[in-house]
Amino acid sequence: MNYWFFIIMYDWFPESWKAMVEMGIAAQHYPSGWTNETRNIRTLTQMRKGDFILATFKKHRFAGYGVLTSDFYRGGRSLKIKKNKKIYAFQERFNVDWTIIPLDNSPPFIRCGDLKKEGYDIDLTRGLCVKQTDERTFIAIQKKIDEAGAQKFSQPFEHLDEEVLDDTEIYDGAVRKVSGNAYKRSQEARSKCIDHYGMRCAVCKHTLEEIYGEAGRDIIHVHHLRELSSIGEEYKVDPIEDLRPVCPNCHAVIHSRTPAYSIEEVIGFLKKT
User: Same structural domain for residues 72 and 205?
Assistant: no
Give the structural domain span for 242: 171-272
Which range (79-83, 146-150, 152-156, 264-268) has the least confidence? 152-156
At residue 260, the pLDDT reads: 83
Residue 53 has pLDDT above 80, yes or no: yes
Residue 172 has pLDDT above 50, yes or no: no
Which range (25-34, 41-50, 180-189, 241-250) has the least confidence? 180-189
User: Side chain identity at 244, as an amino acid letter?
Assistant: R
Question: Beta strands of the chain (E only): which ranges?
Answer: 3-7, 25-28, 52-57, 61-68, 73-74, 81-83, 86-88, 92-100, 110-111, 130-133, 151-153, 171-172, 175-176, 182-183, 221-224, 235-236, 243-246
* Structural domain contains residue 75: yes
Of 99, 119, 153, which one is at a domain's C-terminal end? 153
Of 103, 119, 153, which one is at a domain's C-terminal end? 153
User: Same structural domain for residues 248 and 180?
Assistant: yes
Report the mean per-residue pLDDT for the chain. 82
User: Same structural domain for residues 55 and 28?
Assistant: yes
CATH number of the domain within which 83 lies: 3.10.590.10
Q: Which of 20, 179, 145, 194 is nearest to 90 (CA)?
A: 20
At residue 142, the pLDDT reads: 96
* Structural domain contains residue 263: yes
Question: Beta strands of 182-266 (E only): which ranges?
Answer: 182-183, 221-224, 235-236, 243-246
pLDDT in tens, 91-148: 889 999 999 999 888 899 999 999 999 999 999 988 889 999 999 999 999 999 999 9
Distance, in Å, from the CA atom of 208 to the CA atom of 264, rounded to the nearest integer, reads: 20
Give yes or no for a contact between 27 and 20, defined as CB atoms under 8 angstroms apart. Answer: yes
User: Same structural domain for residues 30 and 75?
Assistant: yes
User: Same structural domain for residues 100 and 196?
Assistant: no
pTM score: 0.58
* Structural domain contains residue 165: no
Tell me what the mean pLDDT of segment 191-209 comes to. 92
At residue 235, the pLDDT reads: 56
Residue 176 has pLDDT above 80, yes or no: no
User: Same structural domain for residues 206 and 116?
Assistant: no
User: Same structural domain for residues 141 and 268?
Assistant: no
User: Same structural domain for residues 197 and 261?
Assistant: yes
Tell me what the mean pLDDT of segment 222-246 comes to. 75
Give yes or no for a contact between 104 and 82, defined as CB atoms under 8 angstroms apart. Answer: no
User: Same structural domain for residues 42 and 115?
Assistant: yes
User: Same structural domain for residues 188 and 129?
Assistant: no
Residue 161 has pLDDT above 60, yes or no: no
